[in-house]
Every structure is written in structure tokens, then in C-alpha cells.
Chain A
Amino acid sequence: QSVLTQPPSVSGAPGQRVTISCTGSSSNIGAGYDVNWYQQLPGTAPKLLIYVNNNRPSGVPDRFSGSRSGTSASLAITGLQAEDEADYYCQSYDSSLSGSWVFGGGTKLTVL
């Protein structure tokens, strides 16, 4: 059971907009800690997609955006493309117990 909760799967047609939610609690996202997002294409290592809530590393298309509100965060992908089919993970810091960096369980995005 992950500390951060993501839907197991989402899907959308090419060109559509999809969002992936990441629900936490008062000891992580709700405490104001940053949310970061990673994209993992099939058979490859994770890649940083969004950092510090809504910032894109160089080379990441502006079709990807992040937001945070309360105890939740969201990743939005507009103009969906076939190459976006991947697993997406949110990540934050959790202050419970001794503190740790935590990931969501991951969301599989299928492009129809």
C-alpha cells in the first residue's frame, strides 16, 4: 500500500487531455512538500518529468504540466501522443515515522 495513491490506469485517445491524480495526506503533500513526477517507458528506467510541483526539465514538452492543491497533486497531459504510453509515478517526502521519500503506486497510461 503506497503512501501516495494513484489510479492504476488511465486512457485517452490521441489528441485528448488526460490527468493523473496523486493523493497524499497531511504528512506529505498536505504538509507542503514538493511533488515530482516520473515517466517510465516500457523496459526503461524512470525519467524525471516534472519537478517541484510544476517545473519541466529541459527537453520535456510543454504538453506535460503539474499542479498541487491541498493533499493532492495532478499531472496533466494535453495533445496525447502514442509515445506518451508509459507508467507515471508521483513522488514526495513524507514526515511520518523517521521521514522518507515516497512514491505513488504508479499509473499506466494507455493511448487508445
Chain B
Amino acid sequence: QVQVQESGPGLLKPSETLSLKCTVSAYPLSSGFYWGWIRQAPGKGLEWIGSIYHSGSTFYNPSLKSRVTISVDTSKNQFSLKLSSVTAADTAVYYCARQIVGTSGLDYYMDVWGKGTTVTVSS
């Protein structure tokens, strides 16, 4: 059964760079699919951050694109998120997820989610 699990520092200061990893179990990243990051600010809804295809091509939320980098390490079966110049507005639970293609090449849904990791930005 495919599982994903987030890891990384839980506390950052403003202007620092957030770095998280997502470790995938029971499925080789290189075999296919998109792998994405989604976040949820306290008491708010879900926000898609960005995704990486198994080949390494990336797709970012236009509102975060200037600060986001997602990369993949197939040797470790992990993919990573970097978000630069964080502020208090980036405080959230960060989830990683596997994305499966739907009807068209643009339709993807998230079928496997991690439990999430809480990141707090505070001075």
C-alpha cells in the first residue's frame, strides 16, 4: 500500500527558507504520476502549492511560483519542497500527496495523502 510521509523543521523565522521532504513507500517515484504539496493554514481551506512529475518537470501555483522549488530524488524515493522568504502567512500544515491522472492530461486527483507536518513561522 502506497504511503507518503512529510518531514522537516516545524519552526522557522521570517525570511528563512522552508524545506520539507516527502518520503514515498511501496511505490517507485520514477514509475509515474505527479507528486504534490498542499497546505492548510490554521482554520482555513486547502491550497495547492505545486507538483513534480516523475520525470522531474514541475508545475507551480502561480501565486507562489516566485518562491517555490520542488525537486525529486528518485534514489531516495523522496521529493522536496522549498519555499523561500517565509512570513507568518506561510504558517500552515503542509501535506504531500500522490496525484493520479483523470479524464484528460490536466485532470489530476490526490489519492494518497500524508498525515501532514505543521510549520510555524514566528520571530
Interface residues of A (CB under 8 A from B): 2, 33-34, 36, 38, 44-48, 51-52, 57, 89, 91-93, 95, 97-106
Contact = CB atoms under 8 A, between A and B. Distances in A.
A103 B107 contact: no
B61 A100 contact: yes
Contact of A46 (B100, B108, B113): B113
A51 B109 contact: yes
A111 B111 CA distance: 26
Contact of A91 (B59, B100, B109): B109
A38 B67 CA distance: 27
Given A33-B104, A34-B107, A97 B48 contact: no
A100 B45 contact: no
The majority secondary structure among interface residues of chain B is strand
A103 B111 contact: no
A47 to B, nearest CB: 7
Interface of B: 36, 38, 45-48, 51, 59, 61-62, 65, 95, 99-100, 102-104, 106-111, 113-116
Q: Which 8 A-B pairs have the closest CB atoms?
A: A34-B107, A36-B109, A34-B102, A106-B45, A103-B46, A51-B109, A101-B48, A45-B113
B107 A93 contact: yes
Contact of A52 (B47, B48, B102): B102
Given A36-B109, A103-B48, 11 more contacts: A2-B45, A34-B102, A36-B110, A38-B110, A46-B46, A48-B109, A48-B111, A48-B113, A52-B109, A57-B111, A101-B108
Given A51-B111, A106-B46, A99 B106 contact: yes
A57, A89, A91, A95: residue with the most chain B Cβ atoms closer than 10 Å? A91
